[in-house]
Amino acid sequence: MKIGMQFAMEAELHALPGAKALAPFETVSGVPFFEVAPDVIACASGISKVNAAMGAEILCLKYGVDMIVNAGVAGCATDLATGSLVVPSEFIQHDVDTTAIGDPIGLVSTVNRLNFPTWKPERCVEILKDLGVTAATGRVATGDWFAVKCRRAEWIRDTFSPLLLEMEGCAIAQVCLRNDVPFAALKSVSDHLFRESNAEEYFDFGEALEKLGGVLLPFVQALQKEDL
């Protein structure tokens, strides 16, 4: 089974052992693609939903992946420890708002969905447990906004009850839905949205990357053996 491993930042991809030494085998629309293991293609498509969607579409249409796994660091809306791993159970887009025409907040009208579930999150947690790693699971909120402590962040928390906030996952989930490609994700807590130290934590996310990079490839290789 061919799996696409999708990151936003090169720093996240470089958390994989040996990844810094890899050269891309091809660059498409400015996105570099790497073969990190047999039948595992990785890319760092860039920050934000448009970049994420573009990378996911290339993985689906050009490389014909059977599954996409989105991995990276994310801000936490609760009190999980830095470096805690999270298997998202579903994604929402907090910055989609067509309430003026009667839609519920967050509805993505093209596909008529609020929630974008991931592939068997309970099974993903089991796989990680078999690898000796504990992971939480919960909803993740995606949007084109670098989250900081403010009223907007409080509104997102109170409206959508996310465990994490980030900027790419739901866009990838939406592309996967439209291409009928299973989608999974693994995130590592880099910072805490409602702590005064939020900004300092984000710019010092080495621990989060280390925890993610240590288990991500074995996790993806275990997924290759699963029946989708």
Tokens of 154: 């409080």
* Separation between Cα atoms, residue 181 and residue 57, nearest integer Å: 10
Closest by Cα among 103, 66, 85, 81 to 183 = 66
97 is catalytic: no
Tokens of 187: 């995130």
Q: Which of 10, 12, 66, 154 is catalytic?
A: 12
End-to-end CA distance of the chain: 10
10 is catalytic: no
* Separation between Cα atoms, residue 35 and residue 220, nearest integer Å: 13
Q: Which of 90, 168, 191, 201 is catalytic?
A: 191
- Catalytic residue numbers read 12, 191
